[in-house]
Every structure is written in C-alpha cells, then in structure tokens.
Chains A and B, each alone.
Chain A
Amino acid sequence: MTGLGNAIALYGRYAAASVKSQLQYRASAVMTALGTLLITASEFVAVWALFDRFGQIHGWRLPEIALFYGLISITWALCDAIARGFDNFAQIVKSGEFDRILLRPRSTVLQLLGQELTLRRVGRLVQGAAVLGYAFAAGRIDWTPGRAVLLVGSIGCGICVFLGIVMLQAASAFWTVESLEVWNSFTYGGVTMGQYPLAIYRPWFRALFIYVFPIGCVTYFPGVAILGRPDPLGAPPIVGWLAPLAGPVFLAGCLQIWRIGVRHYRSTGS
C-alpha cells in the first residue's frame, strides 16, 4: 500500500499549498466564506418559514428535516471544497492544461483533486453543522455509537456520490469541450432535493435519486435509521445501514466512465 500512502502524502502537499495561497488573500477568503454562510443561512430561513406556516410535511417536523438538511449541506460543502479541479475542468481542457496533467506520472483524478482545496466552502459547512446541531438539540435522537458511526459514514459515502456526479459533469468535456450545465440539476438540484426526506416526492423522482444518482441512499435511508423512525417507504431498518454503500459503488462506476473519457481525450491543441 505504499502507492496509496504516497498518494495521500502528495494530496496533503497539494492541499497545503492551496490553503497557503488562499490565505495570501485572507480578507477576501473570509469575506466570501461569510457571504456563503449568509446565502445558505437564508435558505434555511426559507425552510423555517414554510414550517412556521404549514407545521409539518407528510408528518415530518422541522427538527427531523434539519437532520436531512444538515447532512446534505455538510456532504456537499466537503465535496465542493475538494472538487474544484473537476468543476473547472472545461477550462483545463480548453487551455491545454490537461496535456500537462497527462504527462505527469500520477493519476489524473489525484491531480485534479489537488488543484484546490476551496476554503470559502467553509461557509456552507458551518451552516450545515449549525443546522445539524439544531437537529440534535431540538429532536429526540437516541444516540448510540452505531448511529454516530452511521452519521459520519453516510457523509463520507455522500461525498462519493457527489464527487461521482461532478466527475461525470467534467467528463462530458472530453466529448463536448464544454462542461454541460445540465449536470447542475443533479448536484445543486440534488442538494435541494435532499434537504427534505425522499418520501415526500413522487415515485419516479424517488427512483431517480435511489437507483440512478443514489443521493437518497446516502442521506434519506441513513437519516431515517438515525432518527429511529419506521421508514414510510417501507424499507426494513437494515437498509438504512447498508444503503450508504451505494456511494462508493457509484463512484467506482463514475471512475470507469472517467477512464473511458481520458482515453477518448484529444487535445484542443492550444
């Protein structure tokens, strides 16, 4: 496993360099992080306003929604912080920078992950953590060590799902030179969708986010298990503990598509 250890060490260096460079513009980094915090906080105000008016959604109350909301916010913030290289991939292809990446004796995925560790995503992370804190304080969650592990594990598996989707979006640039904005429907749209329990949506929509882009597997099912509620969709309790594994499986599939894309790559020549 020296290969993996070496890769982690290299990633650590990439990340340290990136953090250092962003801290050169400290005021700007702090301002944008605060701005993100403000934006995401206003999103939760909107959710609060809806519960103030309607009281509940299909029997779910605000502290329960806060668990799903906090989970997906933290997951997306972490993914978004490491995935900047994929986010920016169309530019990397257009400028010919990807040629250089291919020349280096390291995997393309590692190098793209190492492009930037985006500090300003801290704003969303803090907001997600605060909402999660509210869910813990206001809800009646019966904490066991297993549930705590499930919480952390589903965040990790959730990062895999979002990273996979961002990777597919980036991979579309191998064929079109543009990173297709349609994919935002599944990242940003998926985040909005995941703020509420999957059970409130229509069956065809649920199926999309369980079987195709398994965001529901990494937020909804484990969330239900942590809350200790019976699943209104009728899944047995064990599903909540196993479903997050769909995340790494999905990511493995996306990596295969990424490799096909890399083989298909032709330099723009600039």
Chain B
Amino acid sequence: MIHPGAASRLAPYRALFGARFRMLLQYRAAALGGLATQIAFGLILIMIYDAFYRSSTAAVQPMAFRQVASYVWLGQALLMMLPWNVDSEMRAMMRSGGVAYELSRPVDLYTWWYARAAAQRTAPVVLRAVPMLVFAMVGLPLLGLGEWRLGPPASLAAAIGFAAALVGALAVACAFSVLLYIAWIWTLAADGIVTVASTAVSMLSGLLIPLPLFPDWARTALRWLPFAGILDQPARIYTGHIASGELAAVLARQLGWTAVLIALGRRLLARGLRRVVVQGG
C-alpha cells in the first residue's frame, strides 16, 4: 500500500515513463528491420556453437548445447534491455544545451532520468521480443531446425524465477543507463566512455558468448560483476542452468548492484551539476 502522498510524489515520474514508453512503441518499422538482423545473428551464433559442440571431445561441457541455443535467443530478445547505448535524443539534448530544461524542472533529476531509462529499456524490448520469441520457439521447429530453438523454461519454478530475475536485471540495467547519461554532464566527448561501457556490457553480460563457456578461472569473477545480472543470470535460470534455489542469491546480487550504481550515480550527478556548463544555442 503506497501512501497517497508518495503516490502523488511519484506521479511525474510515472507520467514521463508512460509518455516515453508510448512514444517508443511507435518505432515499429525500425523494430522490424532490427528484428531480421537479430534473427540472422542469432542463427549464425548458434551455428558456430553447434559446430563447436559437435567437435568437442570432452565428455561434459559446462552447459548443454540446447541451453546455449536458448541462452542466445534470450540474449537477442532482450538486446534492447542491455545498457549499451545512449539514445540519440538524449545525446542531442546534451549537445544542444536542451539539458537546461531538464535542470529547471521541479523534479529529482536522478529519478527523472531513471524513469526515462526505464522506458528506453522496456518499450523496444516489448516490440522486438514477442516476434523474436515466436520465431525462436515455434518458427525454427517448423523450418526443421528444432535443435536450434528456444526451448520452454526448464520448469515452472524456472519460469517464475526468470520473471523475478528479469525485474532485477531491468533495475541494474536502468541504473547503469543513467550512469551513461551522467557521463554526458561531465564531458561532451562521452562517446568514448559509452564505447568502453558498451564493450564491457556485451562481453561481460553474456551477449557475446555465454558466460559459462569462459575459462573456469574467470567465471567466479564474472558472476560477481553487475553485468552478469543483466542477461546471464536470468537466462541461466530460464534454462535451468542455475537451480531455482539460487534465485535469492541472484536477486540479492542484482539489488545490491542496483543500490551501489544508484548511489554512485546520485553522487556523480550532484558533483557534476556543480560544474556543468550548458551549451548555448
């Protein structure tokens, strides 16, 4: 039960989220074009893993091939949720000085941007994920490529755990996205920072290669980084590679990182605003 006062305090952020979400849902043609490319990528990646698994002489690999296939499709479906870019509108706003309007609003800027990031990380996923999942679950078997498909969740518990971990993943992804926004307050040449961040995200979240396939010595470290919580852990709960019993630990790591990233973001924003230079024009 939310206190009525709290609800009205949250109203502007909810309104921003709703408006951005509905606006982003309009980009259906772009989503469709991107969808075809992502399907092609998913297929190529799975073909490569398929060839590796067929060549493998080891008795057991750390992950079964069908789990890898599901993992790849989940990664493609959730691609737009990963905090690997800053949308062009935001960049234009920082460059043109439009950020001055953001600063003059009677809202908490961090929460305002968090709501913006939340829309940015959900609406495109909604647009792309549904057709992608239909293709990967139903289309592939119809094409006679059933072994490459996205399988159903490992169990009911895995499905519920996946849904919970997805919420945690979104919380981390949005907190990380806001950090990238804040980078633009500090420097107008934040493209370099964003590039480094997007490399880290694609490499360490499991988008480029499923994290369980990394060398054993790297896997513990990877698990404790914030990026694993964004894609790897939800996908592994889905495929049953992480037992449902470990869900609490996964969620705890996600929420812990969300808290750390939010605290860091608030600090950097407050300090950045003291020295911000608004671009004229």
Q: How far is the CA of A54 from the CA of B51 in the complex (A)?
A: 10
Distance (Å) between the CB of A98 and the closest chain B CB?
21
Q: How far is the CA of A59 from the CA of B56 in the complex (A)?
A: 10
Distance (Å) between the CB of A58 and the closest chain B CB?
5
Interface Cβ pair total, 8 Å cutoff: 99
Cβ-based interface call for A53 (8 A)? yes
For residues 186 through 202 of chain B, which have their beta carbon under 8 Å from a beta carbon of chain A? Answer: 189, 191-192, 195-196, 198-199, 202
- Asked if A189 contacts B40 (CB within 8 A), the reply is yes
Please indicate the chain A residues that have their CB under 8 angstroms from the CB of B45 in the complex: 192
Cβ-based interface call for A102 (8 A)? no
Q: How far is the CA of A33 from the CA of B33 in the complex (A)?
A: 27
Please indicate the chain A residues that have their CB under 8 angstroms from the CB of B37 in the complex: 181-182, 184-185, 188-189
Say what secondary structure dominates the interface of chain B.
helix
Out of B34, B44, B52, B209, name the residue touching A181 (CB < 8 Å).
B34
- Asked if B40 contacts A201 (CB within 8 A), the reply is no
Q: Which of A185, A188, A193 has the largest count of B CB atoms less than 10 A from its CB?
A: A185
Given contacts A39-B198, A188-B37, contact A58 B51 (CB under 8 A): yes
For A184-226 the 0/1 string (1 means CB < 8 A from B) is 1100110011001000111001000000000000000000000
Given contacts A50-B209, A53-B213, contact A42 B202 (CB under 8 A): yes
Q: How far is the CA of A193 from the CA of B51 in the complex (A)?
A: 12
Please indicate the chain A residues that have their CB under 8 angstroms from the CB of B34 in the complex: 181
Cβ-based interface call for B41 (8 A)? yes
Please indicate the chain B residues that have their CB under 8 angstroms from the CB of A192 in the complex: 41, 44-45
Given contacts A32-B192, A45-B203, A182-B36, contact A189 B41 (CB under 8 A): yes
Cβ-based interface call for B280 (8 A)? no
For residues 29 through 56 of chain A, which have their beta carbon under 8 Å from a beta carbon of chain B? Answer: 31-32, 34-36, 38-39, 42-43, 45-46, 49-50, 52-56
The 3 A-B pairs at the shortest CB distance, nearest first, are namely: A35-B195, A181-B33, A185-B40
Other than the given A27-B189, A42-B202, A49-B209, 15 more pairs (CB < 8 A) read A43-B208, A45-B203, A46-B208, A46-B209, A50-B48, A53-B52, A55-B56, A55-B57, A56-B55, A58-B51, A182-B36, A185-B37, A188-B41, A189-B40, A192-B44
Could you pull out 25 A-B pairs where Cβ atoms are within 8 angstroms? Answer: A28-B189, A32-B191, A34-B192, A35-B196, A36-B195, A39-B195, A39-B199, A46-B209, A49-B214, A49-B215, A52-B215, A53-B62, A54-B56, A54-B58, A57-B48, A180-B33, A184-B37, A185-B39, A185-B40, A188-B41, A189-B37, A189-B40, A189-B44, A192-B41, A201-B47
